[in-house]
Amino acid sequence: MQFLITGAAGFLGQNLANRLVRNGHAVRALDDLSTGDPSQLSPDIHFTRGDVNDRPKLWTLLQDVDCIYHLAARVLVHESVLYPREYDTVNVGGTVTLMEAMRDVGVRRVVFISSGAIYGEQAEQPLHEEMRPHPRSPYAVSKLAAEYYVRTIGSLWGIETVCLRVFNAYGPGQQMPPTYTPVIPNFLNHATRNGTIVINGDGSQTRDYVYKDDVVDAMLSASTAPDADGEIINVGSGVETSVSEVANLVMKATGAKPEIVYNSRNAGGVNRMCADLTLAKKLLNYQPQVPLEKGLCMTLEQDDRLKMQ
The catalytic site residues sit at 139
Q: Quick one: angle between helices 243-254 and 183-192, nearest 10? A: 40
CB 266 within 8 A of CB 201: yes
Q: How far apart are CA 128 and CA 123, in angstroms?
A: 12
CB 144 within 8 A of CB 165: no
CB 118 within 8 A of CB 144: yes
Q: What is the 8-class DSSP label of residue 64?
A: T
Cα-Cα-Cα-Cα dihedral sign, residues 209, 82, 270, 121: negative
Maximum distance among all alpha carbons in the chain? 57
Q: How far apart are CA 54 and CA 269, in angstroms?
A: 34
Return the number of other C-beta atoms located less than 10 Å from residue 262's C-beta: 15
Cα within 13 Å of Cα(44), Cβ side: 13
Q: How far apart are CA 193 and CA 119, in angstroms?
A: 35
For residue 190, the surrounding DSSP H or E stretch is helix 183-192
Q: How far apart are CA 8 and CA 73, in angstroms?
A: 11
* 3-class state of residue 301 by DSSP: helix
